Amino acid sequence: MTRIYVDADACPVKDEIYRVAARHGLSVSVVAGQFIRVPNDPLIERIAAGAAMDAADDWIAERAVTGDIVITADIPLAARCVKAGAAVLAPNGKPFTEESIGMTLAVRNLMTDLRSSGEVTGGPRPFSPRDRSAFLSALDQTIRRIQRAHQT
């Protein structure tokens, strides 16, 4: 059964995930470093992974498998989950795939190195209504694709 894992600490689309998951009858694990509020719903599980560095990422990466969906903007976590076979989406709807994750990780590491050397690099653009719409569409398509694969 498909489960949706949410890297929840800075996820701007949690409410959208809950609605889509309910429509498809899917379980959701909302994983954060500390306590986070979630709706009172038997399909939604709240996980406080602990305050250790990358505790939430480790919790998700240890459990996500083929047929699951991971929602995260964290590129190293996305790489780990893609490697495990999970479908991975950013909150703006961009999929992380085996084909794209290597370059995405390389660019992220380059930008980290530039920032640490004092280069000023702009951050990500603000989250927009278009991003929210793209995410909803991508999540629905991903769920349908996984369901079709399980039927064959």
- Look at residue 1 and tell me whether its pLDDT is greater than 80: yes
Containing structural domain, residue 55 = 3-151
- Look at residue 15 and tell me whether its pLDDT is greater than 70: yes
Q: Which pair of tokens denotes residue 129?
A: 């209504």
Q: How many structural domains does the chain have?
A: 1
Listed residue (142, 124, 143) closest to 73, CA to CA: 124
What pLDDT does residue 151 have? Answer: 83
Write the pLDDT tens digit of every residue in 85-141: 999 999 999 999 977 766 777 676 666 666 677 776 666 678 899 999 999 999 999
What pLDDT does residue 121 have? Answer: 63
Give the Cα separation of 147 and 114 in Å (integer).
Answer: 42
- Look at residue 72 and tell me whether its pLDDT is greater than 80: yes
Give the Cα separation of 144 and 132 in Å (integer).
Answer: 19
CATH number at 83 reads 3.40.50
What pLDDT does residue 110 have? Answer: 65
